Chain A
Amino acid sequence: MFAQHLPVLPIILPLMAAPLCILLGRSHLAWLLATLVSALSFVISVDVLLTTLEQGVLSYAIGGWQPPWGIEIRIDTASAMILSAVTGISTLVLVYAKESIAKEVDPSQHTLFYTAHLLCLTGLSGILSTGDAFNLFVFLEISSLATYTLVSLGSDKRCLTAAFRYLVMGTIGATFILIGVGMLYMKTGTLNMIDLADRIAEFNGNRTLKTGLAFILVGVSIKLALFPLHMWLPPAYTHAPSAVSAFLASTATKVAVYVMVRFIFTIYGAEFVFHTMSMDILLLALAIVAIFKCSFMATVQSNVKTVLAYSSVAQIGYMILGISLVSSVGLMAGLLHIFNHALMKGALFMAVGAVLLRTGSVDIKAFQGLGKQMPLTMAAFTIAGLSIIGVPLTAGFVSKWYLVTAALEQQQWVIAMLVLLGSLLAIIYIGRILEAAYFKEPSELTAGKDIKEAPMLMLVPMWVLVIANIYFGIDTSLTLSAADTAAQLLTQSMTEIEAAQ
C-alpha cells in the first residue's frame, strides 16, 4: 500500500517521531522510539537505494501538485546512497547514545536530546530527498537548528561558545544560500531543480546567475567546513557530546558536500561552473590546502576529539578534490569517500566516546595503556584509524584508490602524489594515538584507576561500523556500483557536451 510513498517516509517518520518523543516524556521510551524510527528509515532508504539502482530516479509530488508548481521529492542514486549512510549511522549512534549521554548529558535533557537528534535526521533526510531549491534551504535550517542544540548539550562550558560560533557562521552560510537561490529564482522564475537546470542552460555567462552561484558555493562551503571557512568545526566537534560528534562528523558536513554536488552538477551543470566560471581551480587549491593544513593541525593537538575534528576537515578536502577533478571517476571517488568516511569517522568518534566514558578524559594522555585495558574499543579505533589512513582491505583504501585513479586519468601526477602525501600525515596523527594506547604505560590521568571495557551497547554499534569498514573494503560491488551510477547520472550533461565537441 505504501510502496509508492517510500521516498517521502524517511523524512516524515523522524519528523513525526520528534514531537512524539516530547509527548512520551520518559527518556528511555523516547530512546526506544527514536531508535526504532531511525532503523525503519534506514530499511526504507536501503530499499529506495535498491529501487533507484534498478529503475533510476524516483520522483514524488508532494500534495499531488506536479513540479514545478509543487514541491518534488526526487531521489536518485547519489541521494539514496548518502541517505542510507545517514539513516544507518543515525540508528547506530542512537543505540550508542543511551550509555554515552548518560554520563555526558544532564538526565533531564535526555528526551530533548533524542528529539533534537530526530529533528536533525529529518533535516538531513529532507536535504537529501528534496528536488526543490528553496525546500532544501528549509531543511538545511531544521538540521542546523537541531545541531546547534545538540552541540550545546556538551558538559564543558566551551560547548556554548562553540555552538554560538557555529550558529553565527551557519546562519551566515544559510543566508548566503538564500541570496543565491533568490537570484536563481529572479532569472528563471522557478525553484524546482530540474526545471532550474533546463532554464539556466539558456543563459550562459549571465552576471546575476554567476553571482548567485558564488553565493551558494560560499554558503555551502561554510556549512561543509571547507578551508578557510572551517573555523567553527573543530571547537564544535570537540566540545559536543561524543554521540553528537560521531553523528555530525559522519553525516552533517557530508550532506553539505552533497548539496554542493547537487548545485554544481544538477542545477548549474559542470559546464557553467567549471568552464564559464573556472571554479575547479579554486576548489582544487582549497581542497589541497585543507588536506595539508588541517592534517598538520591534527598532528599537533593533544585532545583526541580535536585531532579527529581536524582530520574531518582534511577528509572533506579529499571529497572536494574528487569533485574538482571534473570527471566521472573523480566525482565517483568523492561520493564513495562521503559514504566511507561516514563509516570510519563514526567508529572513531564512538571509540573516543567510550574512552571518555571510562577514563573521563579525551586527552591523548588518557589513551596511554588503553590497549590492554580496553582492548575491544582500541581494536575498533585501530581498524577505523587504518581506514582513515587508507590501508588496503579497508573502505578508506577504496575511495583513495579511485581518487588517485581519477587524478592519474587526467595526467595530474602532482595531485596523485599529494593525496598519498596527505595519507602520510594521517599515519602520523593516528599513529600518535595508537602509540600512546599500545606502547606507553598509563599516565597519571588513569594510573591506579580500574578501567573496564566499554559497555555492550556502545561496543556493538562501534563494531558494526568497523566490520562495515572492512566489508566495504573487500566487497566493493554495492558501493562501487551505486557511486558509479550516481556519478554517471550527475555528469550526464557533461559527457554529452564533451561528446558534442
Chain B
Amino acid sequence: MAEIIDLVLLGMLAITAFNIIFIKDLFTVVMLFGIYSFLSALIFVNLDAVDVAFTEAAVGAGISTVLMLGTLALTGRKEKASSHKTILPLLVVCVTGAALIYGTLDMPLFGDPDNPAHQHVAPRYIEDSPQEIGIPNMVTSVLASYRAFDTLGETAVVFAAAIGVLSLLGLPKRDRATIQSGLKSHLVLRVVAKMIIPLIVLFALYVQFHGDYGPGGGFQAGVIAAAALILYALVFGLPMATHVVPPRVLKALAALGVLIYAGTGVVSLFLSANFLDYSVLAEDPVAGQHIGIIAIELGVGITVFAAMLCIFYAFAGQTERKNIQ
C-alpha cells in the first residue's frame, strides 16, 4: 500500500516538475514549486521522515514560496521567450542522469533492513539514544547531541543568509507608519488573522518545546513563529509589523541565537569536557543532555525566527519602496 502511495506521489511530482520546465508564467511556476514542495513533504511522511516533512512543508512550501513571490512582485511575472541554447544543457543533463542511473545499479535494495546504511552507525542511535540522551525523538537526539556540530553549522548558515540578504537589500526604516498599507478593505481577513496569529505563535512554542517528544524542534518552531509575523505584516502592513518587532531587534536576536548555541558548547569547555558535551551540564549526564538540548534548540529557534523574519522584512521593504516610487 505504501508503495502505491509512494508511486502516485512520485508520479505527481514528475508531472509538476515537467510543467515547471515549460510554463512561461513565473507566478504559475512558483505556485507549482510550492505544490512540488508539499508533495515531497508527503513523500517524506510516507517514508517515515516526519521531522523532515514538517521542515520541508514549512520552508519549501512556506518561506521559499513567499520569498519567490516577493521577488516576482519586483521583477515581473513573465518569462520572456528566447531562442536560448537548449542542446548543450540537454546534453549535460542526459550525461549526468545516465551517470546517476549507472550509480543506482549497485544501490542497495530500497527499504531492505539489511542495507549497509542501517547496519553500522544507525543502530546505536536507534537502540541507545533513548537511554543515553533520555528523549524519545531520535532525530532530535542525533541532531542536537550526536551531530550537534552540524546543527551549529546549520545555524551559522541561516545567520549567514540573513547577513547576505541584509547587505544586499538592507532593512526597511521604522518610521514609515504614515504610509497606507496592508489590506485595509479586507475586514474578514483582518478579523480572522487577529484570531489565528496568537494561535500560530502558541503552536510555535509547542513545537519548540515538544520537539524532544514528537516531530519538531527549534528550526520548525522558528519558521512557524516567523510565519505568524509574516501573516501579520501581510494583513496589517509592513510598518505595523516593524512597529511590533523592530528590524534592529531582529538583527540582534539572530546574532544572539548563534551565541546561545555556541555559548552552550563553550560552557562545556569550561566544565572541562569537550565542546558541545552536555553531559557535564548537570550532575546526571542524561539530565545534562536534556538541558543542553533545550538550550541549543532555543538558540536555533531564535536565530531561525529572527533570520527568516529579517529576510522577509528586507524583501517586503523593497516591494514597499517600489510602490512608493
From A18, A19, A68, A141, residue with most partner B Cβ within 10 Å:
A19
Scan residues 170-203 of chain A and give those whose CB is less than 8 A from a CB of chain B: 179, 183, 185-191, 195, 199
Cβ–Cβ contact A145 & B258, under 8 A = no
Tell whether B265 is near chain A: CB-to-CB under 8 Å: yes
CB-CB under 8 A from B147, the residues of chain A are: 70-71, 135
Tell whether A256 is near chain B: CB-to-CB under 8 Å: no
A1-21 interface bits toward B, Cβ cutoff 8 Å, 1 = contact, 0 = none: 110010010001001101110
CB-CB under 8 A from B265, the residues of chain A are: 12
Determine the interface band of chain B, counting residues with CB < 8 A from chain A: 35 or more
Cβ–Cβ contact B276 & A63, under 8 A = yes
Closest residue of B by beta carbon distance from A141: B157
From B153, B164, B274, residue with most partner A Cβ within 10 Å:
B153
Cβ–Cβ contact B120 & A135, under 8 A = no
Q: A19-B258, A190-B121 are in contact. Are A149 and B160 (CB under 8 A)?
A: yes
Shortest A476–chain B CB gap in Å is 35
CB-CB under 8 A from A112, the residues of chain B are: 163, 166-167
Closest residue of A by beta carbon distance from B144: A63
Tell whether B178 is near chain A: CB-to-CB under 8 Å: no
CB-CB under 8 A from A2, the residues of chain B are: 269
Tell whether B154 is near chain A: CB-to-CB under 8 Å: yes
Cβ–Cβ contact B105 & A142, under 8 A = no
Give the size of the chain A interface in residues (CB under 8 angstroms). Answer: 66
Scan residues 86-122 of chain B and give those whose CB is less than 8 A from a CB of chain A: 99-100, 102-108, 115-122
Closest residue of A by beta carbon distance from B273: A64
Tell whether B63 is near chain A: CB-to-CB under 8 Å: no
Cβ–Cβ contact A153 & B167, under 8 A = yes
CB-CB under 8 A from A134, the residues of chain B are: 150
Closest residue of B by beta carbon distance from A205: B106
From A2, A126, A132, A189, residue with most partner B Cβ within 10 Å:
A189
Q: A12-B265, A206-B106 are in contact. Are A18 and B258 (CB under 8 A)?
A: yes
Cβ–Cβ contact A65 & B146, under 8 A = yes
Cβ–Cβ contact B276 & A62, under 8 A = yes
From B99, B156, B159, B262, residue with most partner A Cβ within 10 Å:
B156
Cβ–Cβ contact B275 & A5, under 8 A = yes
Shortest B271–chain A CB gap in Å is 11
Closest residue of A by beta carbon distance from B265: A12
Q: CA of A186 to CA of B148 in the docked complex: distance in angstroms?
A: 22
Cβ–Cβ contact B251 & A22, under 8 A = yes
Cβ–Cβ contact A63 & B116, under 8 A = no
Tell whether B209 is near chain A: CB-to-CB under 8 Å: no
Q: A5-B269, A112-B166, A186-B108 are in contact. Are A63 and B103 (CB under 8 A)?
A: no
Closest residue of A by beta carbon distance from B160: A145
Q: CA of A23 to CA of B254 in the docked complex: distance in angstroms?
A: 10
Tell whether A138 is near chain B: CB-to-CB under 8 Å: yes
Chain A, interface SS category: helix
Tell whether B2 is near chain A: CB-to-CB under 8 Å: no
Shortest A332–chain B CB gap in Å is 31
Scan residues 121-173 of chain B and give those whose CB is less than 8 A from a CB of chain A: 121-122, 124-125, 145-150, 152-154, 156-157, 159-161, 163-164, 166-168, 170
From B105, B149, B167, residue with most partner A Cβ within 10 Å:
B149
Cβ–Cβ contact A135 & B150, under 8 A = yes
Shortest A59–chain B CB gap in Å is 11
Cβ–Cβ contact B103 & A12, under 8 A = no
Q: CA of A215 to CA of B98 in the docked complex: distance in angstroms?
A: 12
Q: CA of A214 to CA of B103 in the docked complex: distance in angstroms?
A: 10
CB-CB under 8 A from B121, the residues of chain A are: 68-69, 189-191
CB-CB under 8 A from B259, the residues of chain A are: 16, 19-20, 23
Q: A12-B266, A119-B160 are in contact. Are A64 and B277 (CB under 8 A)?
A: yes
Out of B153, B168, B274, which one reaches A135, CB within 8 Å? B153
Cβ–Cβ contact B273 & A189, under 8 A = no
Tell whether B233 is near chain A: CB-to-CB under 8 Å: no
B253-266 interface bits toward A, Cβ cutoff 8 Å, 1 = contact, 0 = none: 01110110011011
Q: A19-B255, A63-B145, A189-B119 are in contact. Are A126 and B153 (CB under 8 A)?
A: yes
CB-CB under 8 A from A247, the residues of chain B are: none
Q: CA of A16 to CA of B99 in the docked complex: distance in angstroms?
A: 41
Cβ–Cβ contact A68 & B156, under 8 A = no
Tell whether A152 is near chain B: CB-to-CB under 8 Å: yes
Q: CA of A115 to CA of B160 in the docked complex: distance in angstroms?
A: 8
Shortest B266–chain A CB gap in Å is 7
Cβ–Cβ contact B251 & A65, under 8 A = no
Cβ–Cβ contact A189 & B118, under 8 A = yes
Out of B107, B152, B156, B276, which one reaches A119, CB within 8 Å? B156
Out of A16, A139, A183, A210, which one reaches B266, CB within 8 Å? A16
Cβ–Cβ contact A70 & B163, under 8 A = no
Q: A2-B269, A5-B274, A23-B255 are in contact. Are A186 and B116 (CB under 8 A)?
A: yes
Cβ–Cβ contact B107 & A65, under 8 A = no
Q: A2-B269, A138-B157 are in contact. Are A15 and B152 (CB under 8 A)?
A: yes
Tell whether B65 is near chain A: CB-to-CB under 8 Å: no
Tell whether B252 is near chain A: CB-to-CB under 8 Å: yes
Tell whether A61 is near chain B: CB-to-CB under 8 Å: yes
Q: A60-B274, A62-B274 are in contact. Are A109 and B157 (CB under 8 A)?
A: no
From A2, A5, A64, residue with most partner B Cβ within 10 Å:
A64
Tell whether A148 is near chain B: CB-to-CB under 8 Å: yes
Cβ–Cβ contact B103 & A210, under 8 A = yes
Tell whether B242 is near chain A: CB-to-CB under 8 Å: no
Shortest A17–chain B CB gap in Å is 10
Q: CA of A16 to CA of B276 in the docked complex: distance in angstroms?
A: 14
Q: CA of A375 to CA of B229 in the docked complex: distance in angstroms?
A: 58
Closest residue of B by beta carbon distance from A70: B146
Tell whether A122 is near chain B: CB-to-CB under 8 Å: yes
CB-CB under 8 A from B122, the residues of chain A are: 189
Closest residue of A by beta carbon distance from B103: A211
Closest residue of B by beta carbon distance from A153: B167
B283-320 interface bits toward A, Cβ cutoff 8 Å, 1 = contact, 0 = none: 00000000000000000000000000000000000000
Tell whether A304 is near chain B: CB-to-CB under 8 Å: no
A114-135 interface bits toward B, Cβ cutoff 8 Å, 1 = contact, 0 = none: 0110010011001000101011
A405-448 interface bits toward B, Cβ cutoff 8 Å, 1 = contact, 0 = none: 00000000000000000000000000000000000000000000
CB-CB under 8 A from B100, the residues of chain A are: 179, 211
A–B complex contacts, Cβ < 8 Å, 28 sampled: A5-B275, A8-B275, A16-B258, A19-B256, A22-B252, A22-B254, A22-B255, A60-B274, A60-B275, A64-B273, A69-B125, A71-B148, A122-B156, A135-B147, A135-B149, A141-B157, A142-B156, A145-B160, A186-B116, A187-B108, A189-B116, A190-B121, A206-B106, A207-B102, A208-B104, A208-B107, A211-B99, A212-B103
A residues sitting closer than 8 Å to B (CB atoms) are 1-2, 5, 8, 12, 15-16, 18-20, 22-23, 60-65, 68-71, 108-109, 112-113, 115-116, 119, 122-123, 126, 130, 132, 134-135, 138-139, 141-142, 145-146, 148-149, 152-153, 179, 183, 185-191, 195, 199, 206-212, 214-215
Q: Which 8 A-B pairs have the closest CB atoms?
A: A211-B103, A19-B255, A189-B120, A64-B277, A138-B153, A149-B164, A207-B106, A22-B255
